[in-house]
Structure 1
Amino acid sequence: MNFRKTTALALGLGLLLTGCAQSADGQQPGPATEQKTTRQAEALTASETWAKAAESGMSAAFGVLHNNSGAPIALHKISNAQGDQIQIHEMRGTGNEMTMAQLEGDLVIEPGKDAVLAPGGNHLMFIDLQKPLVASQTARLNLEFADGSSTEVDFPIRNFDGAKESYDEHAGDEHAGH
């Protein structure tokens, strides 16, 4: 066989095989086979959500936030279309000495665990409502996570007279009460 034909055939066959090469898992190499990581927002399941009705001032939102992933997720920021200032609040102290204050840092939810947001416990706090939260309507909140992903969660609004917490005046904004 002619040397030139053999070389051309070998090069052509090499290029053809390279173009059809597959990785060990049977997929084409490149960006399509890069390991996909779950965005934190995709790992969240929200249940039992609701927000306290209020005409003005402050209010709060509650529910259960579950992490379905194998890695911690960190709730970083909460917002809504009305532009309300919404903070993650925690309860500090014990017994009759409990006060509420803005959580320093993110609300971290461990793998497979829940963050329970409840009256008298951790919750999402509306600081200065731009519009009333009206019972039987729904507040849609945008939950943003530390990795930049976000998801919208509906919080049905209902009347609630409980949870007359006091506020820690040394933890950021001073609050006068609900």
Structure 2
Amino acid sequence: MKYLPQLLLILLSGCFLFLGCGSESNSSNDSNSKQEVVLGKIALDNGWARPGSQQAKSAAYLRISNGTASPDTVLSFSSDIAESVELHESIENNDGTTSMRPAGQQVIKDGDKLLLEPGGLHLMLINLTQDLAVGDSLQLSIDFARVGTKNITVPIQIQN
């Protein structure tokens, strides 16, 4: 019995320590949810763009691989050689013709890939600020909700 007050003191101290750590951890997660650690990386590769003339349009293609532990959303695209860059998708109409329409933001699940390729999703480079000739290259910037901005330099080439 003479050790009972000391044992109670140790148990109460442990409980307060445990509760204090738990509440600090929760408030930290609530206020910094955008700054979570992202394991892995977003990879951009296999990029290329079509030739084009100043003040006209061109198209760019690439593969975006989400090697992180969580989904990420592609928010926007930009390039210093185009007034705007939009994600479009090619669609086949009922009469057999094809057309394009804006595709909107895309969510890439963890471990998944987003393919931008001819005949599917692709980037439209609108109102080029310079001519794009085979052998040139251009830089694309891609803004993601979780990992921020990623850049890729792609060559100008004719489709293989």
Structure 2 length normalisation: TM-score?
0.69
Mapping 1:35-74, distance limit 5 Å: 36-38=36-38, 43-56=41-54, 57-74=56-73
Give the number of equivalent residue pairs: 127
Deviating more after overlay: 86-95 vs 71-80: 86-95
In terms of mean alpha carbon deviation, does 76-85 or 63-72 score higher?
Answer: 76-85
SS in 2 for 1:84: strand
Contact 1:64 1:114 in 2 (8 A): yes
Contact 2:65 2:112 in 1 (8 A): yes
Question: Greater strand share, 1 or 2?
Answer: 2
Q: Let me know the Cα RMSD of the aligned residues.
A: 2.7
Amino acid at match of 1:110: K
Structure 2: distance between partners of 1:49 and 1:58 = 17
- Is 2:89 aligned against 1:90? yes
Gaps of 5+ in 1: 1-22, 24-29, 163-178
Residue of structure 1 equivalent to 2:132: 133
Moved more, 132-141 or 77-86: 77-86
Is the CA contact 1:88–1:107 (under 8 Å) kept in the aligned structure 2?
no
CA offsets 1:7-54 (integer angstroms, 9 cap, x no match): xxxxxxxxxxxxxxxx9xxxxxx9xxx985229xx7311121101111
Percent of pairs with identical residues: 24
Higher helix share: 2
C-alpha distance in 1, partners of 2:109/2:78? 22
Match of 2:25 in 1: none
